[in-house]
Structure 1
């Protein structure tokens, strides 16, 4: 649980920091206000996929003890986080190039796509672990039959 809490906290800090970077970097480079850049998407990806999703996973861990299947939980944690970091890094890189008026390459899109695939794989593993935990919890809460005196 502590790993989830720490990761969520780090994503919150980096997410807020990326929003600050977005605002200040565009101002510093006289980028037209309201014009699209992927820097704003990095801010929301980090806060939503990193901070909020991991807080939800933390709550589910508390209720269902998802880490009782440590291999599955570890696969989820590392696949998912690698995907969020990779995707967000590519959004920042692409967005920064846009603000600087530079051309982006297909490589950036490809790597961002790989990040999204890792997020998807992590979520699939997460739901497998969640399903096992829910089934396990249902099995342990069977009610004893009522007997009449």
Structure 2
């Protein structure tokens, strides 16, 4: 659980820093206010995908002990975090190029797509681990299963 808390905290800090970077970088380069750049949504992605989602996973861990399948949980954690890092890195790169007036390449979109695939794979593994955690074991007596 400590790993989840630490990662959520790092994403919270990165999200705040991403917002400050967007504001200052666009001002420094006289980027027209209101014109779209992916830098404007970097902080939102970091705060939502990193900070908030990992806090929700922390709650799921506390309630269901989803890490009782340690290999699955580890796969989730690393796939999901790699997906966030790759996706946000490409957003930073693409957004910075936009602010600087430089052209971007299709490689940026391709690599961002890989980041999204990693995020999706991580979420699928999370749901497999969650499903295993909430499913009754072979040794659970019928009267121990809560009816909901």
Alignment TM class, shorter chain as reference: over 0.9
Question: Aligned residue for 1:49?
Answer: 49
1:112 is aligned to 112
Partner of 1:23: 23
Could you tell me which runs of 5 or more consecutive residues in structure 2 were left unpaired when the two chains were aligned: none
1:1-149 equivalences in 2 (<5 Å): 1-136=1-136, 140=140, 142-143=142-143
Distance 2:106 2:49 in 1: 24
Aligned to 1:147: none
Cα distance change on mapping 1:143 and 1:91 into 2, 3 Å? same
Larger Rg computed on CA atoms: 1
Q: 1:40-65: per-residue Cα shift (whole Å, max 9, x none)? A: 12111111000000000000000000
Q: Distance in 1 between matches of 2:130 and 2:141?
A: 17
Give, in angstroms, the shift of residue 27 of structure 1.
0.4
Partner SS state of residue 123, structure 1: helix
Q: In structure 2, what is the Cα distance between the partners aligned to 1:39 and 1:54?
A: 22
Report the 3-state secondary structure (helix = DSSP H, G, I; strand = E; otherwise coil) of the residue aligned with 1:84. helix
> Paired residues, what number?
144
4+ residue runs over 4 A deviation: 139-142
What RMSD in Å do the two structures reach over aligned CA positions?
1.6
Please, what TM-score do these two structures have when normalized by structure 2? 0.93
Between the aligned partners of 1:73 and 1:140, the Cα distance in structure 2 is 23
| Structure 1: gaps (5+ residues) | 145-149
Q: Deviations over 1:14-36 (max 9, x none)?
A: 01100000000000000000100
